């Protein structure tokens, strides 16, 4: 289980996260929603140990998160890959880095599940579509069977049709693999449709957190209602759900 225990992150005189706490169990999805600058990406960096917490701590089953070898799916699919390497070499990086035994059957299974044509693995990132590149990013994240996967705005670079399809693929893979998923997103419709729980982050603080169903039906804070009402006004909730 991922435990984020009262963490704060300060950079100079500014605070980007303030006393953030939550837990996330295997097989469940927590979506962290909020406007730009709320601290969503900083939260991912703090969980991964890429930025230092000035207070509090993060753990996986009581041990440092690094020991569970979490995976990250980045916002910009093509930028996540080395442009000079084949996608196959990039996808296999976690296996090589962790000194794992390569299992061709797992790669084949993930390709089928994520609808990745195996011949695309021989191409470079600029030779595939944005949607294909994002599925490659998910494939790389899952290749070493991590218990925790972090998604940083995984749909924002995709068109609406590809967004819905990719969201369903992620949900199907989680149901099959059982990993804990933390998704940071500005898309409340995506969060409502696919997350178990939603946390509303504002100016580095969690303003509200609860089940996705309760958050959409009856937000308990003004900020939560603002996010929910804006999503309805834009048609995001009807579009994704």
Q: What is the DSSP letter of 129?
A: -
Residue 240's pLDDT is: 45
Domain 2-70+146-240 has CATH 3.90.1150.10: no
Rounded Cα gap, residues 173 and 156, in angstroms = 19
Q: Interhelix angle for 130-142 vs 104-113, to 10°? A: 140
Rounded Cα gap, residues 24 and 14, in angstroms = 27
Q: Locate 209 and state its tokens.
A: 């957190």
Neighbours of 179 (CB within 10 A): 21
Identify which of 207, 206, 229, 205 has the alpha carbon closest to the alpha carbon of residue 217.
Answer: 229
Q: CA-based Rg of the chain, rounded to a whole angstrom?
A: 18
Contact status, residue 89 vs residue 126, Cβ threshold 8 Å: no
Identify which of 179, 171, 218, 178 has the alpha carbon closest to the alpha carbon of residue 198.
Answer: 218
Q: Interhelix angle for 104-113 vs 160-177, to 10°? A: 140
pTM: 0.90
Residues with Cβ within 8 Å of 150's Cβ and at least 6 positions away in sequence, in order, are 44, 47, 48, 70, 71, 72, 73, 181, 182, 183, 184
Identify which of 162, 140, 1 has the alpha carbon closest to the alpha carbon of residue 72.
Answer: 140
Per DSSP, the three-state class of 187 is: coil
Domain edges within the chain: 2-70+146-240, 84-145
- Local mean pLDDT, 10-residue blocks, the chain (241 residues): 95 82 96 90 94 94 94 88 93 92 92 92 93 92 96 85 87 94 90 92 94 92 90 58 43
């Amino acid at each position: 289980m991922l435990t984020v225990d009262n963490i704060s992150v300060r950079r100079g005189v500014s605070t980007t996260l303030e006393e953030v706490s939550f837990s996330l169990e295997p097989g469940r999805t927590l979506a962290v929603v909020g406007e730009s600058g709320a601290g969503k990406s900083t939260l991912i960096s703090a969980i991964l140990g890429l930025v230092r917490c000035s207070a509090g701590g993060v753990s996986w089953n009581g041990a440092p998160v690094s020991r569970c070898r979490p995976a990250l799916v980045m916002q910009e699919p093509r930028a996540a890959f080395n442009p000079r390497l084949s996608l196959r070499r990039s996808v296999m990086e976690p296996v090589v880095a962790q000194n794992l035994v390569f299992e061709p059957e797992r790669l084949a299974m993930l390709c089928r599940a994520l609808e990745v044509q195996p011949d695309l693995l021989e191409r470079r990132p600029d030779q595939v579509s944005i949607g294909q590149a994002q599925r490659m990013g998910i494939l790389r994240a899952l290749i070493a069977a991590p218990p925790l996967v972090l998604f940083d705005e995984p749909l924002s670079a995709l068109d609406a049709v590809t967004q819905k399809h990719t969201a369903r693929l992620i949900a199907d893979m989680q149901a099959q693999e059982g990993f804990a998923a933390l998704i940071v997103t500005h898309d409340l419709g995506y969060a409502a449709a696919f997350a178990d729980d939603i946390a509303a982050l504002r100016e580095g603080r969690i303003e509200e957190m609860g089940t996705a169903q309760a958050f959409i039906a009856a937000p308990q804070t003004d900020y939560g209602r603002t996010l929910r009402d804006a999503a309805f006004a834009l048609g995001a909730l009807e579009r994704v759900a």
